[in-house]
Structure 1
Amino acid sequence: MIRIGHNPNTNMLPMFYYLEKEHPLLESVTAEPTGHNAMLAEGRIDMAPISAFSYGEHWKDYAILRNLSVSTNGRVGSILLFSKVPIGDLEGLTIALTNASATSVNLTKILLHHYYGVTPGYLTMPANLPEMFAKADAALLIGDAAIQAALLRPECYIYDLGEEWHKHTGCSMTYAVWAFPKSLLAEREEEIMRIYDLLLEAKAKALGNMDDILRTCQMMLGGSLEYWRDYFAQFNYGLDHDLVLGLEKYYNQCFELNLLPSRPVLEFWPKE
């Protein structure tokens, strides 16, 4: 049995909605991205859609499943910086960072330091916008917490980090990749291939039946069907050449800002 990380956020529904829950090869473990990052590193799960940044930390040990990611080429809609002041005025101020993300936390640091030339202070907190604003001048939220906060239309500046990244680099942004320890291949390659096929089948079925996904999101968080249709129109759940280039750009900038100790090399599986 392969212990697989299950991410409950709406942006991951196209990966999990049609994945067979009671498959004899699968044991699902639900957590936010940072939870899966730690679980995979500690050997408590075998495979997960981890933060892209976490792959960068463990690239020597992990392999990435081909054709699977959570990416956008511009606006993402659920990785949002809420700020009391314009983003360029955050010099010396404090930003509360969600404790549910690694990729977006470091994307925030890249954008602020590299493109806006500001150096704020950072603190990490659970995702709750009022509590974050009580202690900080800006707050980073991701996933459903970001969507729920934005739907309430708070009186502040809201910056979409996918849009910001694309504006400054012209690149796509990959937030999560499916990864597993390369050491598993020695004994469990056939099982991993079967799980990989299940993931591709579930994704294809979801993308061909998006109305089911949209209605489920509406029941979970509210909003109109038009809102959710527009939201998912931004996403790419594959991992083509252009997305890989954007991911490499992100890793290069993480390395240059000393956010990663080494420059990651992407290793994909199955081999071509």
Structure 2
Amino acid sequence: MIRIGHNPNTNMLPMFHFLQKEQPLLECAIAEPTGHNAMLAEGRIDMAPISAFSYGEHWREYAVLPNLSVSTKGRVGSILLFSKVPLETFEGLTVALSDASATSVNLTKILLHHYYGVHPHYVTMPANLKEMFEKAQAALLIGDAAIQAALLHPDCFIYDLGEEWFKHTGCSMTYAVWAFPKRLLAEQAAEIEKVYQLLLEAKAKALNHMEDIILECQRMLGGSFDFWKDYFAQFNYGLDLTYVMGLEKYLGLCYELNLLSSRPVLEFWPKE
């Protein structure tokens, strides 16, 4: 039995919608990215789409499944920084960070510190824009919470972090990778490979049946068919060399800015 993390946000539907959850090989645990980060580190699950930053924290212990990620090259649409003022004026102000993300929290710090040269104060809070704005001048939201906030609050500055990253680096951005502890290979390599094939099959089926994915998103959050079609057009769920280079750029900057204690090396399994 392989225990996997199941992320319920709409941006992960292409990975999970067609996954055969009834397979005796799988047991799913539903959580936001930070929940999966902790569960994998504590051994409560065996595999998950964890924050790319969390892989950077545990790169010596983890391996990454090839050809699976949540990435964009530019706009992402659901990792958004909401602000009462322009980014350039953030020096000394307070930014509220979502407690559901690790990758995006540190991407925010990279963009503000390294590229905009501003150093605000940070507080970590649950994803509620109204409450965040009561304590801070800006707020980072991810996933469905970000989509809903953008639809309800178009009257403030809204910065798309995927777009900001691409503007400053020219690189793609990988927000999540599928990872597992390398120690499992000693006894469960065959099971892990079977689950990997299930994930690849589920992804391929979803990408060939995006109408089904979009209809499910409309059922979950509303919105027009064209809105969701445009939203998913930004995403790449693979991890080819271009996206690996963008991921290495992000992890390298995390290390150089002392957000990570060591420079991560990506290790993939199964090797191709």
User: What is the TM-score with the length of structure 2 in the denominator?
Assistant: 0.99
State how far apart, in whole Å, the 2-side matches of 1:154 and 1:96 are.
18
One-letter code aligned to 1:61? E
Is 1:75 aligned to 2:75, yes or no?
yes
Q: Give the structure 1 partner of residue 156 of structure 2.
A: 156
**Could you list the per-position Cα deviations for residues 66-121 of structure 1 after superposition, in whole angstroms to 9, with x for gaps in the alignment?**
00000000000000000000011111000000000000000000000000000000
Q: Which portions of structure 1, spanning 4 or more consecutive aligned residues, are displaced by more than 6 angstroms?
A: none
Is 1:49 aligned to 2:49, yes or no?
yes
State how far apart, in whole Å, the 2-side matches of 1:101 and 1:271 are.
28
Is 1:168 aligned to 2:171, yes or no?
no
1:69-148 to structure 2, matched below 5 A, reads: 69-148=69-148
Q: Secondary structure at the match of 1:239?
A: coil
Shift of 1:152: 1.1
Shift of 1:166: 0.1
State how far apart, in whole Å, the 2-side matches of 1:155 and 1:239 are.
35
State how far apart, in whole Å, the 1-side matches of 2:222 and 2:135 are.
28
Shift of 1:35: 0.2
State how far apart, in whole Å, the 1-side matches of 2:157 and 2:71 are.
24
Q: Percent identity?
A: 79
Q: Give the structure 2 partner of residue 4 of structure 1.
A: 4
State how far apart, in whole Å, the 2-side matches of 1:221 and 1:69 are.
23
Q: Secondary structure at the match of 1:268?
A: coil
Structure 1 residue ranges without an equivalent (≥5)? none
State how far apart, in whole Å, the 1-side matches of 2:155 and 2:96 are.
17
Q: Give the structure 2 partner of residue 187 of structure 1.
A: 187
Shift of 1:222: 1.0
Q: Give the structure 1 partner of residue 207 of structure 2.
A: 207
Is 1:13 aligned to 2:50, yes or no?
no
Q: Secondary structure at the match of 2:77?
A: coil
One-letter code aligned to 2:260? L
Question: What's the RMSD between the two structures over aligned residues?
Answer: 0.5
Shift of 1:153: 3.2
Shift of 1:154: 3.4
State how far apart, in whole Å, the 1-side matches of 2:215 and 2:147 are.
16
Shift of 1:219: 1.0
Shift of 1:261: 0.1
Structure 2 residue ranges without an equivalent (≥5)? none
